[in-house]
Structure 1
Amino acid sequence: MAKFLGLDCSTQSITAVILDSSKKTVVYEKSLNFGKALPQYNCPDGFLLHPDPLVKHSNPLMWANALDLICKTMQDDGVNLAEIAGISGSGQQHGTVYLNKDFLREDWLLKAKSLAGAVKPLLTRATSPIWMDSSTFADCRRIDAALGGPEQVRLRSGSSATERFAGPQISRFAREDAKAYADTAVIQLVSSFMASLLIGASAPIDYGDGAGMNLLNLSTLQWDADLLAATAPQLGEKLPLLVPSSHIVGEIHPYFHRYGFREGVPIVAWSGDNPNSLIGVGGWKPGTAVISLGTSDTFFAAMDRVATDPDGYGHVFGNPAGGFMSLICFKNGSLAREQVRKQYDLSWQEFDSCAFELTQPGNAGNIMLPYFTPEITPLVLNSGPVFEGNSMFKAQKDAAAAVRALVEAQAMTMRLHSAWQQQKTKKVRVTGGASRSDGVCQVLADVFDASVERLQVSDSGAQGAAMRAAQGAGAMDWATLSRIFCACDASKTRKPIPANIAIYNELINRYAALEKSITG
């Protein structure tokens, strides 16, 4: 058997991808939207409505129900699940699930009629805070203070105390509901919770997702005693073990035989969506950066050594292929591109071709800081773009110059704020809607002095999970998996142009100075 299943429990949906390692192709892919498929949970966009806009929680029973539903859907679609030789998964990072001591019993899933029904009496907290939650500012500051400042938290855990991370979320829960926290025996991440459902036992947390909690010490790959103490009482007793991402956490539970899975299918540790996406686009090896041009733009890359961002914007997670990875998020991604396109009444074709044909690299010295919404990298709380250049450009009457300024700014800010990794980017793999633009890709190639490769991977998290199942089960190594399932279209690769590289090496200094004048 050579088929491997990857599951992705994201914010808004659950996705299944099946790879056939013998045929070297994806043989099945299906996604179910939570709002449409499971409307009874009142999470139309994957989270519960709340009067406080800073609070973003979801219902963990919905995730359990979704696992049942995707398995039933695969069965109904005629997938022979008895052929599955390994399973792994991807979960939205930072979300937490709180469970009582009965979750540690061996029989909680034995006679269950449904996963949601089995899990409901085990929850000590009815809802799960997710990555969109921003309600833990005070807890972040307490953790920083207890460790002697944000730099100490960053050096230990790879990130400053961050509002959406599991540690600060646990801290707030322990403060506000001490009784429920005391009744909690196990705190799982979304990824390890879903793995637990598959094996019918409390699954360990992998290094990849565990590093996104502000609790794991990067140098020891163990829970950090000082961070635990600063976060909540007896927290170390409530956290699962930590394991490498390739670790087999158990075999599939007999509950899942109803869907056609055979006995003994190995379950490889689940990880977070970002570590899985790194694998899913073939970025497992240092030297290849991955840029996702989505609603927010995201830069992530495998790292050949541990480094942390002294400015606190970047994060360090575990790389499922071994070692570590960086992640840096920029809020002004597609939203900013859309804003400029609408402001100048441009079609996407005009945005791409006309603007880049009418302007030259360097944009005649016209620079924009593209803060159309408040930015997190760098931190800019007051929205509004900043213009430096000629009068027509500053008056926002030159559409072509505005487009090029935006795209150049987005590329330069990624280069500036990824420099802390201190490693050369040899090639860049791009995904997302804007990756279709030749102009955008050429600017990225010139700014990074690296070839830009374009991929068409519909769900990198689920594909990365399926690849991890294959690797964890010993079917293929990372190099072979990436070559087969993450191939790029060579005809669409953009190479850096030497003359343009020199222009951007000079322009980026002016851009950095302008950014510093705004952010300090």
Structure 2
Amino acid sequence: MNLLQICDKVWSQACLSACAPDLEEKLGRPVPSSSVLGTISSYYVQRYGFHPGCQVVAFTGDNPASLAGMRLEEGDIAVSLGTSDTLFLWLREPTPSLEGHIFCNPVDPQHYMALLCFKNGSLMRERIRDESASCSWSEFSKALRATEMGNGGNLGFYFDVMEITPEIIGRHRFNAENCEVSAFPRDVEIRALIEGQFMAKRIHAEGLGYRVMPKTKILATGGASHNRDILQVLADVFDAPVYVTDTANSACVGSAYRAFHGLAAGAAVPFADVVKLAPQPRLAVTPTPGAAQVYEALLPQYAKLEQRILSQTRGPPE
């Protein structure tokens, strides 16, 4: 699909020519995601017993299928808090860059989706828990509750392995005067980690064209989504309510939803109407009053410090 011009929904002739002759004819014409492509091949009927009238809906990849499975709507974010942290974003007007990925939206042909992956996820959180909270999630949560939003201006970057977004490695701590320091008190260290992880996610999401909207909601999954105090920081940084969903194998569920959309409803019915009877996510936390003002001031500072670290790592531009 990297051969597709996502704005025009046609194959890029330059990319096709660079890959193989007559490739466009072999690929076929791109179609909207709810299109029925025809009936299943006779091979599958004979080999696996499919009904010869079984219809096939347009294919998609696992990440777009996950967006469908979690039933995101415009302005929503899905955050998977696992070994790596992953963001799925619903976008109306993307601004592609060298970071992240922009796809066609799997349930709305007029919109787009973005994906961002952050390698230092739960393993980094577990290391700071072990070092600063006596290996206890309870103590970790207590530290988050004991420290104020904004962490007194102390900001941290925690990348024990080379990060994907951005390409930084190491631990970097800055006090309220933007001076780099070697260590933080334990409670400050814990909040600096969690705030830093979520501020980075918001900054890089906005770099791809995402904007928090009044109706924005965040759907959280993965191991850390069971920790209410971590989710509270997520809600505060994004200034949006956080919901949790028990949907497992969201890519498979999303593929089933898309099949139902194509076969039962057709392109004229919005995807949201097709899945409106599906189980709803559960509200976990809402933003703390005053959070928007705190992080509106901190987010630009965090972005500047990130660029400072990157320039120190890469050296001055040629």
* Fold shared by both chains (TM-score > 0.5): yes
Cα distance in structure 2, aligned partners of 1:331 and 1:277: 19
1:405 and 1:251, CA in 2 relative to 1: closer, same or farther beyond 3 A?
same
Residue 427 of structure 1 is aligned with which of 205, 212, 217? 217
Q: Report the CA distance between 1:357 and its aligned residue.
A: 2.1
> Are 1:480 and 2:273 an aligned pair?
yes
> Are 1:519 and 2:307 an aligned pair?
no
Q: Superposition pairs for residues 200-349 of structure 1, below 5 Å? A: 210=1, 213=2, 215-232=3-20, 235-254=23-42, 255-256=44-45, 261-283=50-72, 285-305=73-93, 307-310=94-97, 312-322=98-108, 323-344=111-132, 345-349=134-138
1:259 and 1:453, CA in 2 relative to 1: closer, same or farther beyond 3 A?
same
Alpha carbons 1:455, 1:488 under 8 Å: kept: yes
Q: Which residue of 2 aligns with 1:442?
A: 232
Larger RCO, structures 1/2 (Cα 8 Å, 6+ apart): 2
Cα distance in structure 2, aligned partners of 1:233 and 1:477: 38
Report the TM-score, using the length of structure 1 for normalisation. 0.54
> Are 1:502 and 2:293 an aligned pair?
yes
Alpha carbons 1:412, 1:447 under 8 Å: kept: yes
Q: Which residue of 2 aligns with 1:414?
A: 201
Cα distance in structure 2, aligned partners of 1:402 and 1:257: 62
Tell me the alpha carbon deviations over residues 204-245 of structure 1, each in whole angstroms, 9 at most, x when there is no partner: xxxxxx2xx2x1112321111122234455544543432221
Q: Which residue of 1 aligns with 2:175?
A: 389
Tell me the alpha carbon deviations over residues 372-399 of structure 1, each in whole angstroms, 9 at most, x when there is no partner: 211121122xx21111128xx9444633
Q: Which residue of 1 aligns with 2:314?
A: none
Tell me the alpha carbon deviations over residues 108-148 of structure 1, each in whole angstroms, 9 at most, x when there is no partner: xxxxxxxxxxxxxxxxxxxxxxxxxxxxxxxxxxxxxxxxx
Cα distance in structure 1, aligned partners of 2:123 and 2:279: 27
How many residues are matched?
298
Residue 144 of structure 2 is aligned with which of 356, 377, 380? 356
SS at the partner of 1:513?
helix
Cα distance in structure 2, aligned partners of 1:486 and 1:518: 44
1:482 and 1:437, CA in 2 relative to 1: closer, same or farther beyond 3 A?
farther
Cα distance in structure 1, aligned partners of 2:182 and 2:173: 9
Cα distance in structure 1, aligned partners of 2:264 and 2:275: 15
1:218 and 1:373, CA in 2 relative to 1: closer, same or farther beyond 3 A?
same
Alpha carbons 2:239, 2:291 under 8 Å: kept: no
Cα distance in structure 2, aligned partners of 1:477 and 1:236: 30
Question: Which letter maps to 2:38?
Answer: G
Cα distance in structure 2, aligned partners of 1:240 and 1:423: 35
Cα distance in structure 1, aligned partners of 2:259 and 2:128: 42
Report the TM-score, using the length of structure 2 for normalisation. 0.85
Residue 259 of structure 2 is aligned with which of 469, 472, 479? 469
Unmatched 5+ residue regions in structure 1? 1-209
SS at the partner of 2:218?
strand
Aligned-pair identity (%): 39
1:278 and 1:235, CA in 2 relative to 1: closer, same or farther beyond 3 A?
same
Cα distance in structure 1, aligned partners of 2:24 and 2:273: 38
Alpha carbons 1:290, 1:430 under 8 Å: kept: yes
Moved >6 Å (runs of 4+): none
Greater gyration radius: 1
SS at the partner of 1:298?
strand
Q: Superposition pairs for residues 449-460 of structure 1, below 5 Å? A: 449-460=239-250
SS at the partner of 1:512?
helix
